[in-house]
Amino acid sequence: MYRLEGEDLHVPVTLMPWTAALGGTIFVPTLDGPVKVKIPAGTHNGKKLKLSGKGLSSKGSLFVTLTVDVPRTLTKEQKELFTRLAQLES
């Protein structure tokens, strides 16, 4: 889960496409327990966030790499909404 680099920690975190597009709040695991992190609207896959003081020591940072996840299965309503979004783009 965590990757150590000096006193810094690196952790991947997955978020849903609607959170990436609209923004929102997610919980990120830290050594002290989960913390709330605000995700800005328009976040792209691979974006990195830095949480200072959340690394291995108070001098280290926690670097969060965000991965946008696309659901494997969609409800009928979700399919309709994604279809509508696709139509708006063309």
Total domains in the chain come to: 1
For the CA atoms of 21, 13, 77, 42, the dihedral, rounded to the nearest 10 degrees, stands at: 0
DSSP per-residue letters across the chain: --EEETTEEEEEEEE-HHHHHH-EEEEE--TTS-EEEEEPTTPPTT-EEEEET-SSSTT-EEEEEEEE---SS--HHHHHHHHHHHHHH-
Question: In percent, how much of the chain has pLDDT > 70?
Answer: 100
Mean pLDDT of the chain: 95
- Is 33 or 57 the better-scoring residue by pLDDT? 33
Mean pLDDT of 9-28: 96
**Which structural domain range is residue 13 located in?**
3-89
Mean pLDDT of 26-47: 96
pLDDT band at 38 (very low <50, low <70, confident <90, very high): very high
CATH code where residue 58 lies: 2.60.260.20
Tokens standing for residue 33? 């327990």
Mean pLDDT of 59-85: 94
